[in-house]
Structures are given as C-alpha cells and as structure tokens.
Structure 1
Amino acid sequence: MPKNDSQLDDFFGFKPIGEKESNKESFREIAVKKINAARLELLPKILSKKERYLIFSLVLIILGSVIAVPFSSFYHFTKIAPDYGGSFSEGIVGEPRYINPLLSQTNDADRDLVSLMFSGILQYNKAGKLIPDLAKSYEISSDGLNYTVYLKENAKWHDGEPLTADDIIFTIQTAQNSDYGSAQRINWYGVELEKVNDYAVMFRLKNKYAQFLNSWTINILPKHLWQDIKPINFALSEFNLKPIGSGPYKFKKLKKDKLGRIQSYELESNKNFYDGRPYIGNVEIKFYNSEDEMIDAYNKNDVSSLSSLSSKNLDKIKFKKRLSIKNLKLPRYFAVFFNQNQSKILSDKNVRLAMNYGADKQEIIQKVLNNNGLSVNSPMVDGIIDIQSGAKPYEYDLEQAKKLLADAGWNLPGDNGILQKKDEKLSVTLTVPLLSDLMDTANIIKDQWSKIGIEVKITTLTTPELQQAIKERNLRGLKSYLNADYTCLFYSPLPSNLNFLPSPFLLGNKCQ
C-alpha cells in the first residue's frame, strides 16, 4: 500500500509534478473512487452466503421505503374525487315521440328522456323515498287538506328563464284540462291551486289523500314556451322532440335515419343546474327496435350501457365482466282483468275463484320471467308505497278449482274435457296485447285452465286496437300489466261501467 500521496499517484500512473494543488486533489478523488469500486467488486467474494442475503434484504427494504413513503403520503393526504367531463351512451328499446312530462307515461324512451331533461316538485331517491327536487320545503295543514310548497329560487330553464310558481300552476292546470289528453289528469282531479308568491304554491284538496305527495313527482313544463300552444297542437309541437326543461341535462341534437326514425339523442350537462352541474359532460341515448338489436350494438361496443334488459337475454351479452348488472323491482304487475258485463260466466264468483286456484303463478314466473318475478295477491304490490296488502294468498290447487266449478253447476264433461252446464260450454276469451311476455303468459294460462275444464280462446290486439277496445268496453278477459299507480285504480272520480276486476291469482310483479 502506498504510504504517501506521491506514491499513490505513481501507483496509478499519474505524474502530477508541476501541477497545481487543485489538480492533485481531483486526481486523489478519482483514485479513491477507483479503490472503493474495486473493494465493492470483491465484497460478494468476501461475505458469506448468509451475509450476502442479509445485505440484499436490507437494500430491498431501503429501496421499498424510499418508493413507498411518497406513495403512502400521497394516498394518505389525498382522496379520489370525480371530475367534470367524459361521455356516456345507453341503448333503449323503442323510439321517443313525446319528450313531454304530460304525454310521456306510455313510452319508456319518452320517460327516460323526460327524467334527464325535466324536474319535478319532488323526486324519488335510490331507496324509493320522496325527496325535494324543485321544492325547497313544504307544509301540510293540520286537517290534511292544504299543501304549500316553497320552491328553490335558483332553478332556471335551459334557456335561462327563471322557474317560478307560474310554471307549476300552468303545468298542473294543463294536466287537469281533458282537451290536452294527459294521463296525469287523474292525479290532479279536483285539486285547486293558488299562487302564494313567485316561489310558493298552495294545493287545496276536497278530501284527505295520504299519497298526494306522490303526485308531486310530475315534471314541470315552461309556461313561457307552452302557454300559447293550443290543445289541438299540443302533441304536434316541436318542443316534444326538442324540449327545453330544467333538469340536469339539456337537449343538444338528435339524429334520424333516411326514413325519419329517431336513432339517437345527444344531451349535454346543464352547467347552471340548481342542484349542481352533473359530472358526466355528455350523454347519448341510442334507440333500437328490439332487445336483440340493442344487445348486438352493445357487443359491438356501440353503447356502454343497456336499459331494461329482460333476464332471458342476459346470456347473449358479451363482456359481462365489465358490466354492473342491477336487478330492479319495478312498480308493475301483470294480471287478468274480468269484464263481467260481457260474460255471464265470469259474473259467477265461484268460477273466478276456480280460475284463481287453477292458475300456477310459479310456472308463469319460471317460464316467462326466468324466475325474475314475485307472486303477489293484490293490486297493492307489497313494498311499493309502504303498504302491505294483507290479501289472502291462493295456492295452486286443482282439486279445489274443480270443486268450485262443480258447485257452480259446471259438472258435465264435454269434448276435450271442457265442462258444460246443460248446452253451454265453459269457454272464455282472453284478449292480449301484442307483447311477447304477455302472449307467452296467455298460452300458459290456456293450458293450465284446460286442466280444470275451461276453454280459453286467445285474441291478440295491437296497442291502439286494445285502447279502443277498452274504451268501447268490448272485452271479456284482458291479460295485461299495469304500473302501480293506485290513484288511477282506487281514487278515480270518473264514472265508468267497465267493471274490470283484477284476478288476484294472476298478479305477478315483474323484476328486471
């Protein structure tokens, strides 16, 4: 080992004679580095296997700490938050016609778009409970006959005009006017309105009605745009397809095919929305003729989400792992309705009870709804409006059904096992809308009732034909579904001699 600086320099072949002192220092640093590097190269040979493993572990721990500390601090002192922007697309079966709160009740596509572009006084949250929407607060008088709502003063229409009490009153009075043909009319029959001030409205009822607040989910129309449109032109207005509302999204553009059919709607977020700008910047709704067509579009990545898909078609979907599938309990039930005015047979209670016991609801739920449904026993669907029906359940019982028919005098077997009473055959006609689920259900009912001696003749009608037949009371048995709008079912003040009785044995709540 060299004993002094000169020897050290000579050892590495350096000759710093005559050089400045600073140069000697730099040469010395280089030499030391070379010696240290040489020692490090020899280190693995000097250390034992155990020592090498220990040093390697320590190095990994140090490196891991160096990397982990910044990341740990980042996650500890920050949080994930949504950002504004992005886009979302969804497929829907059907086509919009009236994106109008007073005309949208019979079309899923219309209802979906209305919910995005319009606002109600109240709205339902994810748990199905009523919460404020346009309402800031409300009061109910001690006698339950007067309701006063106080509106949020920062709500505006998409064109910038303020939303006031005048818009609330105009919308409801328009719904009450039969000339406009709104299905919302029945919910507001007999209700009087009074403007308290620009942001307060009083509702006066003639009788107490515990479910009146549910009517407040009606979406509101802008008076300044609709007030001059006559009833005869109400359904023809351009605002039905290019609406101006007050909701979280506003109309941007629509796209039609060569035949004039609407293919898609593009919406953009309402930056002035009274409850805060939505995070998703753009929403595109695409429309398809069938579920198969909609599924094909999803499988080709044309849409990122699907709406109201029947469970029987889930197996056709690709990329299921990237989907979040939600099973929703819909406020809708399927039932057979009896018109006793048109059928003497159906006026006999024992016959109706026999049909009750002779229908296997579980078979219908299994085969038609793919087990995605519930058996119910009343038009009051349990759990929908916090009311339990308490109706008596009727289990499938062929022997009880046959006994009831015999008690009613239907005890003579005829052709194909169909029962007779003297010369009269036990035969009923079941009218069904041209919807696949309902037609499948009707065929199952036909087979089930044949086992107890009842002949079922099935008649199918299009929706317009069915509506006309109901209007003319020209039906005997109707297989259909209803949304759980109990105002229409039990609080209708309108005169009617329809006498359709929902059969409790075939009530089934559909789940998507």
Structure 2
Amino acid sequence: MTRERRPWRFAALEEVMRTFRPSERLLLYTLTALLAVSALSLVIGLNASISVVVPSPAGSISEGVVGPPRFINPVLAISQADEDLAQLVYAGLTRALPDGTIVPDMADRFEISDDGTVYTFTLKEGLTFHDGRPLTAEDVMFTIQSVQNPALKSPRRVDWEGVSVTSENTNTVVFKLQRAYAPFLENTSLGIIPRHLWGSIPAEEFPFATLNTHPVGSGPYRILTGQTDSTGAVTSYVLAPRTQRGSESAFISKITFRFYANQDALVNAFNAGEIDSIAGIAPSTLELLNLHNSTLMRVPLPRVFGVFFNQGHAPTLADPAVRAALEAAIDKRAVIDSVLHGYGAMLDGPLPPSIVDNERPTPVSGENADEGSAAAGEFAQRARDILSENGWTFDEKARIWQKKKETLSFVLATGDAPELSATAQLLIDYWRALGIEVSLHVYPLSELNTNVIRPRNYDAILFGEVVGRTPDLFAFWHSSQRNDPGLNLSMYANSRADNTLAAARSTTDRKEREKLYASFAETIKKDRPAIFLYAPEFIYVVPKKLQGVELGILTLPSERFLNVREWYTDTERVWSFFSGAYK
C-alpha cells in the first residue's frame, strides 16, 4: 500500500489549525482575506500611480461631404471634398497648429533672412511618399513650379507669384521673395506632389490624370480603398494612417469619406447612421439632425462681413454722420441671431476674431423678445439723434431725410448667397424704419463680381472678406488696391493706414504685427469707411467618442484636420516610462 506524502510544513499547519476553536478559525480566515484584499489594492494603486491613460491606435470615424472629389491634388484642389482629402493625404514643408503657429512638417528646420526675403528649408532625413519612393528637394521644386505654371491655372498660383525656388542639394530648398511678406511662411504648408509620378504628365493633361482620384502623397493618411458608382464618380474613400520615420503616426485607424449629391441626402445619411461627422454645416440645418450621440464644435472663422461704402459713387455717404447713423441703427446681435442662428461673432472693426477677442453672441429667445424690441427702438433713436445733430432734418410728410436740398438715399448691393441676402434685407428694414430711402439689389455671385465689384459700380455693398490665418489686410484696405484686381471695396485712402499696412505685411514678428494692426483698426474706427457686422462660425458635428479635436484658427473647412494626428476614440493604460512612445 502507498500513503500520500505531504510537505511537513503543511502537516504542521494542519496540526496547529486543529487546535483552533471555530471562532478563532473564522477570525484567521477573515484576517487572511483582508490581507489579500489589501495586497491587491496596494498592487492596483501602485499600478495607477506609475501608469497613465494614453490614446490607443484604434477606432474609426465616417465623414459626409456634399459632392464627389475631382482633384485630390494640392495644386488643383477647389472643392471641399478635394481640400479635405488633400489635407490628409499630402504634407508640406510646414504645417499650422490649431493656435496658428507654423511648425516644420516635411522640413526638419527653416531659416529666414534678416530682411525677410530668403527662406531656407532643410528636409528631414529618410522622407518617403506613400509608395515608398524618396521625397526630396526636387519634389518640392516641381510642386512649386507646377503651381506657378499658368497653363495649370492653379488656385494657389497667386500665393507663389514672384517667388523663385532653387535647391542646393537633395535636402535643401531656398525660396527668394521680391520683398518681405510675413504671411509667406503659411504658403509653405502646400502639399508636395511626387515628381516621379507627375513629372511625365503634360500641363494640359494634369486635370484629367487618374492620380487626381488615386493620389500618392506623404501626409498622415493614405488612400486604402475607394468605391465608384455606375458613372465612375467616387462615392467613398477609406483612409488609413501611414508611418513616416521622424513623424507622428495618427491614432484613428480608419477614416471613411462618403459623398452625397446634396445637403438633404447628407442629412438623411447622418440620421440613418451612415456617417457620424459633418463639417461646415449651415446653422439652419442643425435642427434637422439627430445629435443625440454627437458633439457640436464651433469656432469663429477669420472672415469679416460688412457693408463697404463707395463714397465717390454716392455723395450722401461721404458724410461721416450718415455712416455713423447707418451703423447706429443696426442691432448686430439680432442680425447674427436671425441670419446665423447665433453662430457668429459680432465685429466692430476690420480685424477678425482670430486676431482680437470678440464676445460670443447670445441668441435672443422668446423670453426676452420684448427686450429685443425695446433695444431696436433705442438703436433707431440713436441713429435719428446723430442725423439731427449733424444738420439733417426729417420731412414727416415726404418721409425723407434732407440736408441742404440733398436727400439721404442710396442703393445697397449684395450677392444671392442665402446669408448675404438675408442680412441685406434686415439692414434695409432697419434703415427704412428711420425714413432713409434705400434700395436693395441682389445679384448672382458671378454677376456681382463681374459687373459690380470689379468696376466698383455700387453705392454700398454687403460682402465678406477672407482674411486668413496670418492676416494680411493690405489687399482690402491699402489705397493702391482701390481698383480691380484690388479688393479695397470702400475705395479707402489714408496715408497713415497705408504705412501701417505696409509695415504689418513685411514684419515677421507676430507681436509687432498685432500692434500694427491694432493701430490700423483705430484709424479705421475714426474714418468709418465701412460697417463691420459679423464673422460666421465654422460648425463641426463629430461623434461623442471622438477626442483630441482642436479646431483653433481655420481659414478653410479642411483645416479641421490640422491636428488629426492627435485625434483618438480609444485609450489604454501604460506605465508612465513607456508613455513617451505614444506622444
């Protein structure tokens, strides 16, 4: 027979346990359990103290866009779909951060000469395109030369006029400007196209090349798959992150773009769950969306909408009192709430919200509608007082304002874009309520540009200016820009303002530029060449699961992807000394 052999320590422990009374055994078991729980808690606490939660490479999002892309090519991109995909697929020498700071991207570093006319970029080592071929200075030169080629008619050509580009070696690119121009650095974020693929394609064939819809770039994402309909039009793309030595890899593992024929189809797709993100949606459309699982993001755009006076075309508008009264009559907050549904920033000068802080508008609800009516009456009375105090009299019988037999009347012109025409009608209502004789002419946008803006054929015009991330107000306000192709819609001329604008566009010191623009704004405030109304907000609907999105300063909807490398939907806990690998 065999007998079970047990370690003597266990046998001894059993002998001791037999001597314990039941109550003593229960106490021992309880203390042992507490000890085990305490030890487990200690381990968990220690793990928490030396570990951190970091984004995990996983997850997906699906964006909806109206209209299919045609030119996923930074040289030719014109539509939102084109620009969205080009922003993700291509990379430039630099890229902008959400706060507006320009940092190296494909470049390792750059230097600017003391006079601000020479920019020298050194590329990172080991750069490649998505197909594995090297990215060199030759590709940068080829991209810029393609943009400058008049045969291509690139929308970016104006950014590179008068700029020479040379290369000292495969890793160095030198740009020479005719004169210092502070916003130039922003232009170097232009995506780089591969010379080995595009170099053999004649300029006249660029728009028809299959590379426009099957792009190869060096950006944070690459095209994984694409689908087309029976006509060959693209209906969707799936993008995946690429890994580039020396660059951060994005966390979101898949971004799907779906393209729709119109806004109604886009809204229906969102509500049906086909997509979970929409960019740049109109405020009036938000009420149609089921936003239960969504986050609504908003940021003012660097755009200035206002009424610009052509004083030489309408003599009554040359009177500063008239211009002051016209502005005093407008309830700008009410305009923003009515036209933009509250999604806008009120302006009192030529600087957009990206340069100066603007108080966010508060929508007027039904509860304070009476207060709004009272305020409207105050605006009207203030305007009447300004006119009366400056020699204008109101003929009650004729219902007109006159001064020395001159009648206060003019025509307001604008485009047929919904927000422009709606804003214009509100302004007309304010002014007519004062007894001002004013007419409204609404033109198709193409006709407005050709027949009204270019020949400066208007008394006053309601329009918008896109100022940009690095502001350059020269084209909008310098006296040399009064005639076409300049954009000085107010035909404004002031030597002090001219000097300030010239200095602001040449300095590369951001703080100095801000001081100069603040001085310019004060000059404009005194002269009143325009009524500044609002800057609309960019609205981005994203799923609640999406984190890390920082909109910052946007000039185009596609720039919502500026920090796409930091977006994530999933997280994981890692020990802190390993967390550097996730940054």
Q: If the length of structure 1 is used for normalisation, what is the TM-score?
A: 0.75
Shift of 1:156: 1.8
Query: Residues 182-218 of structure 1: CA distance to partner in whole angstroms, max 9, x if unpaired?
Result: 3323322322222222221222223222333222222
- Bigger CA drift: 363-372 or 284-293? 284-293
Distance in 2 (CA, whole Å) between partners of 1:298 and 1:324 is: 13
Amino acid corresponding to residue 463 of structure 2 in structure 1: S
Provide the aligned C-alpha RMSD in A: 4.3
Task: Give the corresponding residue for 1:483.
Answer: 466
User: Contact 2:96/2:186 (CA < 8 Å) preserved in 1?
Assistant: no
Where do residues 306-455 of structure 1 align in structure 2 (5 Å cutoff)? 306-311=278-283, 313-318=285-290, 320=292, 322-339=293-310, 346=317, 350-384=321-355, 397-399=379-381, 401-402=383-384, 411=393, 413=395, 417=399, 419=401, 426-435=409-418, 437-455=419-437
> Is 1:100 the equivalent of 2:73?
yes
Task: Give the corresponding residue for 1:11.
Answer: none
Shift of 1:496: 3.4
Distance in 2 (CA, whole Å) between partners of 1:329 and 1:241 is: 32
Shift of 1:350: 4.8
Residues paired across the two proteins, number: 470
Percent identity between matched residues is: 30
Q: SS of the counterpart of 1:252?
A: strand
Q: 1:179 to 1:479 in 2, by over 3 A?
A: farther
Shift of 1:56: 9.3
Task: Give the corresponding residue for 2:275.
Answer: 303
> Is 1:153 the equivalent of 2:125?
yes
Shift of 1:115: 1.0
Q: 1:23 to 1:407 in 2, by over 3 A?
A: closer
Q: 1:349 to 1:288 in 2, by over 3 A?
A: farther
Task: Give the corresponding residue for 1:15.
Answer: none
Shift of 1:408: 8.8
User: Contact 2:65/2:258 (CA < 8 Å) preserved in 1?
Assistant: yes
> Is 1:215 the equivalent of 2:198?
no
Distance in 1 (CA, whole Å) between partners of 2:457 and 2:225 is: 43
Distance in 2 (CA, whole Å) between partners of 1:301 and 1:193 is: 48
Larger of the two Rg values belongs to structure = 1
Task: Give the corresponding residue for 1:87.
Answer: 60
Shift of 1:315: 5.0
Amino acid corresponding to residue 536 of structure 2 in structure 1: K
Q: 1:206 to 1:79 in 2, by over 3 A?
A: same
User: Contact 1:430/1:478 (CA < 8 Å) preserved in 2?
Assistant: yes
User: Contact 2:137/2:169 (CA < 8 Å) preserved in 1?
Assistant: yes
**Any unmatched runs of 5+ in structure 2?**
359-375, 493-528, 539-583
Q: 1:332 to 1:77 in 2, by over 3 A?
A: same
User: Contact 1:156/1:274 (CA < 8 Å) preserved in 2?
Assistant: no
Distance in 1 (CA, whole Å) between partners of 2:206 and 2:389 is: 55
Q: SS of the counterpart of 1:326?
A: strand
User: Contact 2:413/2:443 (CA < 8 Å) preserved in 1?
Assistant: no
Task: Give the corresponding residue for 2:483.
Answer: 496
Amino acid corresponding to residue 413 of structure 2 in structure 1: L
Q: SS of the counterpart of 1:453?
A: coil
Q: SS of the counterpart of 2:531?
A: helix
Which of residues 247, 254, 277 in structure 2 aligns to 1:275? Answer: 247
- Bigger CA drift: 455-464 or 438-447? 455-464
Distance in 2 (CA, whole Å) between partners of 1:472 and 1:414 is: 39
Shift of 1:484: 1.6
Distance in 2 (CA, whole Å) between partners of 1:273 and 1:414 is: 77
> Is 1:511 the equivalent of 2:498?
no
- Bigger CA drift: 410-419 or 123-132? 410-419
Q: 1:61 to 1:247 in 2, by over 3 A?
A: same
Shift of 1:93: 4.2
Shift of 1:247: 0.6
> Is 1:166 the equivalent of 2:127?
no
Task: Give the corresponding residue for 1:235.
Answer: 207
> Is 1:189 the equivalent of 2:161?
yes
- Bigger CA drift: 336-345 or 219-228? 336-345
Where do residues 23-102 of structure 1 align in structure 2 (5 Å cutoff)? 61-62=34-35, 64-65=37-38, 67-69=40-42, 71-72=44-45, 74-76=47-49, 78-102=51-75
User: Contact 1:361/1:505 (CA < 8 Å) preserved in 2?
Assistant: no
Distance in 2 (CA, whole Å) between partners of 1:414 and 1:167 is: 72
Task: Give the corresponding residue for 2:217.
Answer: 245
User: Contact 1:426/1:453 (CA < 8 Å) preserved in 2?
Assistant: no
User: Contact 1:179/1:231 (CA < 8 Å) preserved in 2?
Assistant: yes
Q: 1:427 to 1:133 in 2, by over 3 A?
A: same
Q: SS of the counterpart of 1:506?
A: strand
Shift of 1:132: 0.9
Distance in 2 (CA, whole Å) between partners of 1:453 and 1:100 is: 53
Q: 1:185 to 1:488 in 2, by over 3 A?
A: farther
Q: 1:241 to 1:439 in 2, by over 3 A?
A: farther
Task: Give the corresponding residue for 1:13.
Answer: none
Query: Residues 197-254 of structure 1: CA distance to partner in whole angstroms, max 9, x if unpaired?
Result: 2221222223222333222222223333334444444434333333222111122343
Distance in 2 (CA, whole Å) between partners of 1:290 and 1:402 is: 46
Distance in 1 (CA, whole Å) between partners of 2:306 and 2:84 is: 25
> Is 1:141 the equivalent of 2:113?
yes
Distance in 2 (CA, whole Å) between partners of 1:416 and 1:443 is: 23
Q: If the length of structure 2 is used for normalisation, what is the TM-score?
A: 0.67
**Any unmatched runs of 5+ in structure 1?**
1-19, 390-394
Q: 1:420 to 1:103 in 2, by over 3 A?
A: farther
Q: SS of the counterpart of 1:327?
A: strand
- Bigger CA drift: 465-474 or 156-165? 465-474
Shift of 1:55: 8.4
Q: SS of the counterpart of 1:217?
A: coil
Q: SS of the counterpart of 2:352?
A: coil
Where do residues 113-128 of structure 1 align in structure 2 (5 Å cutoff)? 113-128=85-100
> Is 1:225 the equivalent of 2:197?
yes
Query: Residues 359-411 of structure 1: CA distance to partner in whole angstroms, max 9, x if unpaired?
Result: 22121122223333222233332544xx799xxxxx99545544666799875
Distance in 2 (CA, whole Å) between partners of 1:481 and 1:213 is: 24
User: Contact 1:359/1:506 (CA < 8 Å) preserved in 2?
Assistant: no
- Bigger CA drift: 439-448 or 492-501? 492-501
Shift of 1:150: 1.1
User: Contact 1:158/1:244 (CA < 8 Å) preserved in 2?
Assistant: yes
Distance in 2 (CA, whole Å) between partners of 1:156 and 1:185 is: 26
Distance in 2 (CA, whole Å) between partners of 1:251 and 1:24 is: 68
User: Contact 1:428/1:454 (CA < 8 Å) preserved in 2?
Assistant: no
User: Contact 1:357/1:505 (CA < 8 Å) preserved in 2?
Assistant: no
The higher relative CO (CA closer than 8 Å, separation ≥ 6) is in 2
Distance in 1 (CA, whole Å) between partners of 2:4 and 2:91 is: 82
Q: 1:412 to 1:111 in 2, by over 3 A?
A: same
